[in-house]
Amino acid sequence: MKRDIHGTTQPNVGSVARDHLANERTYLAWLRTGMSVAAVGVAVAKFAPDRGGHAVASGLILVVAGLLVSAYGTFRYRSVGRQIDAGVFAPAVSGAIGTAGVVIFLAAIAVVILI
C-alpha cells in the first residue's frame, strides 16, 4: 500500500494552494526563529567565558524559549491549515504577541542571569 506523504489532495480553487504554501513558509520561519534562539542558548552555555552555572542557566532559558517559539509555530501552522480548508480565517493577534512577549521576557532573564 502506497502512502502519500503530502496529505490529502484538494482542488485548487481560488487561492487555496497559494494560501497553504504561504502557511508553510510562515511555519518554516517560526521553526527557523526557534532554532536560532535555541542555538544562541547552546552557544551561551558552551562559550560564555568564566560564567559557569550562570551561563548554563542562561543557555537553558534560551533553549526553552526557542522550543516555545517552535511549538507555537507548529500549533499555528496546524490551526491555519484547518482554517484554510474550512474557508475561514481568524488572525492570531494575542497568540503571536503572547509568544513574543514570553520569549522577550525569558531572553531578558537570561541576560540578567548572565551579567
> Cα–Cα distances in Å, from 17 out to 9, 41, 76, 110?
11, 36, 18, 41
Of 10, 12, 7, 102, nearest in space to 62 by CA = 102
Q: How far apart are the first and last CA of the chain?
A: 58
pTM for this predicted structure: 0.78
pLDDT, one tens digit for every residue, the chain (115 residues):
455 566 666 666 678 888 999 999 999 999 999 999 999 999 988 888 777 888 889 889 999 999 999 999 999 999 999 998 888 888 877 888 888 898 899 989 988 888 8
Instruction: Note the Cα 69 to chain centre separation in Å.
Output: 3
Has residue 28 been placed in a domain?
Answer: yes
In a domain, 8, yes or no: no
DSSP 8-state code for residue 9: -
- Structural domain containing residue 103: 16-114
Count up the domains in the chain and report the number: 1
C-beta of residue 78 within 8 angstroms of C-beta of residue 27:
no
